[in-house]
Structure formats: structure tokens, C-alpha cells
Amino acid sequence: MSASVACPTARPRLARLRLAVVLLFLAPVLSACGINNVPTLEERAKATWGEVQNQYQRRADLIPNLVETVKGYAAQERDVLTSVTEARAKASQTTIRADQLTDPAAVQRYQAAQEQLGGALSRLLVTVERYPDLKSNANFMALQSQLEGTENRIAVARRDYIEAVQAYNTELRTIPGRWIAAIFYSDAKPMQVFEARTGAEMPPPVSFTR
């Protein structure tokens, strides 16, 4: 009596082949369902966060020259100058990686440090009102213009980040994104929105024209 017996080593290969065929046919369906939405929106949110950090760093880079310029005309404003320098140092040391954007405490620390620097900078700029010669200094005027532009870019970058995070978080909480994340991206977590404090949506007063 003869019987045909399939080779044991051929079975796994056949199973993998069948799986590949199934996935091949399912790929268009899964794509249409938005299987790539979760990682795509996550990467977009991380990219916009990178721009937020870039603009805050740009502001921090302007401050040393600003402090030195003010010091040349208003050295007696030592407390204000010191507070700006210290706030800048703290803000520069308080960093956050893209993979920490799901951690509310990490985002809050970064936000608080940047807000502290923004407040100290605002107080410095208000102090300058008392020094007409400084306000007309060419170097100060150039720094003033750069700072004003940077504050505007910070506001735009922060807005773009908030919109990107909201889109990502919505995808994780709604169907079919919620199901897709549970099956394919189980480690995906909602990101924290970088909420500005009340009134912080307005840039510090950097214009001194009357």
C-alpha cells in the first residue's frame, strides 16, 4: 500500500506562501482603511515638535547678545539681567525628546521653563523703556527685530504642533484608527498638547515705537 506524505519542511513554506498571498490581497484594503494613519500622524506630530524646539533655541541664541547690549546702557538693572540669564540657562538645560511627548510631566517641565524665560525676557524689554539711547542703538534694534520675528515663529510652530497632536490623538481614539492601533501599533500612546498659559499666546512686547 502506498500513500503520499507531504514533506514536513514543505508545510511551513506553504503556510508562509499562503500568508503572503493573503496579505498581498489585503494590502489595498488595509491601506484604504488607513492602516498607515497612526504612524504617519505620529511622525508628523514629532516633526512639528522639532520645529517648536528649533524656534525656542533660536530665541535662546539671541538672548546673550541682547543681555550684553542692554548691560552696556543699563548695567544697574542687574537683577533683571541676572533673571534673564538664569532663566535662559534653565530653559536650555530642560530638554525633551520626541519619545517623551506622551509624558505629561516632561512636557510640563519644558513648558514651565520656556514660560519662565519668556516672562524674564518680557520684564527686561519693559525695563528698556527707561533708556532712550539704548532703544535707538543699532545693535539693539536689530536684535529687537530678530526677537520679534522669532516670537512670531514660536507661536506658529506651537500652533502647528497642537494641530498635529490633535489629529494624531483623534486617530487613536476614533474608529477605525482605534482598532488599527490596538492590532498593529499597541505601543502608540496619545501625545501631550503644549498648552500656553493664559495670555502667553501673545509674544512679549518687543516693539518700542510710540
Q: Which three cell numbers stand for residue 120?
A: 524674564
Confidence of residue 19 (pLDDT cuts 50, 70, 90): low
Where are the domains positioned within the chain?
A: 37-185
pLDDT band at residue 187 using 50, 70 and 90 as cut-offs: very high
List the one residue out of 95, 91, 110, 87 whose CA is nearest residue 192. Answer: 110
Closest by Cα among 155, 181, 169 to 55: 155
In the predicted structure, residue 202 carries a pLDDT above the cut 50: no
pLDDT at 33: 60
Which pLDDT value is given to residue 94? 95
The answer, as to whether pTM is greater than 0.95, is no
Condensed to tens digits (0 to 9), the pLDDT of residues 135-179 reads 899 999 999 999 999 999 999 999 999 999 999 999 999 988 899
Residue 196 has pLDDT above 80, yes or no: no
| CATH no. for 37-185 | 1.20.1440.20
Tell me the one-letter amino acid at 92. S
CB 53 within 8 A of CB 110: no
Under a CB-based contact definition with an 8 Å cutoff, are residues 64 and 91 in contact?
A: no
d(CA 81, CA 50): 29
User: Of residues 29 and 122, which shows the higher confidence score?
Assistant: 122
90: which residues sit within 8 A by CB, 6+ positions away? 113, 116, 117
Distance, CA of 14 to CA of 16 (rounded, Å): 5
H-helix segments, 33-137: 37-73, 78-93, 104-127, 132-135
pLDDT score of 46: 96
Contact 60, 92 (CB under 8 A): yes
Map 114-159 to HEC letters: HHHHHHHHHHHHHHHHHCHHHHCCHHHHHHHHHHHHHHHHHHHHHH
CA dist 188 to 8, 31, 49, 76, 173, Å? 39, 18, 17, 52, 11
Helix axes 104-127, 78-93, angle to 10 degrees: 160
